[in-house]
Amino acid sequence: MLINPIKKNKKIIFLFLIAIFFAIFTTNFVFAQGLEVHYPSIPSEKGEITITATSTAPQYIKYIFNFSLIIGAIIAFGALVYAGFIFLTSTGKPALLNEAKDRIFSAVLGLAILLGSFVILNTVNPRLTVLKVRKVKLPYQGILLKDTASGKEKVFFTSVSDFGDFEPSEYKFLSPRDKIEVTLYSGLNFSGTSTNLIYYNGDTLKLLSDVYRAGMDRAYSMKIKGIGPGVYLYKETDGNLIEFGPVTEPIPDLSFYDFSNPTKIRIKNGPGTNFLSILYNKKNFWGKDKGARVFFQRQRVPGGDCNPTSTCDGSFGSLVTSGCGYRGIGPYLNSGAASTSTCGNIATSTQMVDINKQDRYGELGGTSLSLGIAQLDTSSEATCTVTLYKKVNYEASTTANEKCEIHKFIFEPEAIDKEDICGDDWNDNVLSMEIKGRCLVLLFENRRDNCKLIRPYYCWSSYGSRAGPGITNAFVSDVPDLRAYPIKKEATSIAIYPYK
């Protein structure tokens, strides 16, 4: 007869503890979109732990670990109090007395395990309780702004025409010096009095009031402008052309930076840089249908002298190359005047090219979700051998035509079955590939045909009809079985680029 009251009390105590938990902690939370969640500070062995918009994964894990210790201690203490209450009221009730003793023992044991584990870890090796991971280099970083009145913090990567109800009062740059310039405006849409932010990347935030120009008390919009070499993406938002860049590392998901589906691209090279970029319509560097396009600044390559009237931004020395023998096509290449020895669909570092077009380097149909980036190797020592096989695991018969070695770089994608690539009978049957040397290999599902001057965008075909490059995958190392990738065994065109 004593069991039912105990079960009832257990439910009451459990609900009571849950109510206390939410009463204590939810009052300190402010839920908002993105990076605007505010967590309460909690104690640790080295002071308080506070989660902000710039907190790293190890800091989050450390926060959760310490938070769990605190919650566990509260629950164990509540269980101990409850067991003590049962013990005090169990006079003349042996069953309740034994249950109370068991509960007290369990609560004390739980506390000992909870706290003892941390003490033991610190005694054996204090570094076991210090979480560290290798810092991952972000492809692009921005600026952290804080609204002191609301306590909200936001990280911005691109310009903002209207802050809305967010009133920035403190700031800190998250990007290295000489990567971006930030200008705040006292009006909407980059109007009114402007203030250029002084670069600051300290441990604490800096007051914006210290850098505001006279007569400016708050910012309503902000312009972020990239400086230096890199890849720049653009898209129109609220009537303004917004810039994102310079990007110097691959981005598997452009939506992380709220910059999916850009419409224009620009490549700015500097001393020692020569960027190659690939936009895909799928996340994690692959494309489907009209799903990929390669961009790089026009290069001079062997095969003829660079025409004095065209732009030659570099030289590949004595590299053996293929696929640059066509004259200029459409608005992306010099028409008529271009030397047959120039490759690339971006003429100069100041030219912005429409992304959603077709040319001999691919096609995008309005969707761009990931960005691959590499540095072209312009040295004459760059070498590479790509070997294609018709069987998995690099197997090939010594008598059959099951192996094809390619000893040249192919800047413009070419059909694999061309006589100077692999020859006949090499369509839709590549199952494995070996790569020797530092080269980036792109495989395309559809055939890259000769582009016609009168119909410049009909460069890719699929069973005789106009199409984009189809499924596209990029590789930098051996692939024992291409069927494990979206391209499977459907590759009909290839491009090979030397990279640093």
Q: If you write DSSP's letter for every residue of 365-388 in order, what string do you get?
A: -S---EEEEEEB--STT--EEEEE
pLDDT at 149: 93
The CATH architecture to which 247-500 belongs is Sandwich (2.60)
**Mean pLDDT score of the chain, rounded to an integer?**
77
Whether omega for the bond prior to residue 486 falls within 30 degrees of 0, making it cis, is no
Weakest mean pLDDT among 215-219, 246-250, 270-274, 319-323:
319-323
pLDDT tens digits for range 1-23: 334 444 445 554 554 455 444 44
Contact 431, 390 (CB under 8 A): yes
Burial code (b: 16+ CB inside 10 Å, e: under 16) for 200-233 equals eeeeebbebeeebeeebeebbbbbbebeebbbbb
For the cut 50, the answer to whether the pLDDT of residue 244 exceeds it is: yes
pLDDT at 330: 32
Residue closest to 301 by CA, chosen among 292, 313, 289, 293: 313
The better pLDDT of the pair 298, 403 is held by: 403
Q: What are the start and end residues of each CATH 2.60.20.10 domain in the chain?
A: 137-227, 247-500
Residue 155 has pLDDT above 50, yes or no: yes
CATH class of 137-227: mainly beta
* pLDDT range class, residue 314, cuts 50, 70, 90: very low
pLDDT band, residue 246 (cuts 50/70/90): very high
Among candidate residues 42, 110, 117, the one with its CA nearest the CA of residue 76: 110
**Residue 62 pLDDT > 80:** no
| Full-model pTM | 0.68
Tell me how crowded residue 307 is: count the other CB atoms within 10 A of its CB: 17
- Reduced to 3 states (helix: H, G, I; strand: E, B; else coil), residue 209 is helix
Return the closest-CA partner of residue 266 out of 258, 257, 277. 277
Average pLDDT over residues 59-71: 73
Q: What is the average pLDDT across 211-219?
A: 89
The pair of three-digit structure tokens given for residue 240, joined into one six-digit string: 């303004």
Of 172, 184, 169, 177, the closest CA to residue 143 belongs to 172
Residue 234 predicted with pLDDT over 50: yes
Strand-pair partners of 343:
299
Amino acid letter, 294: V
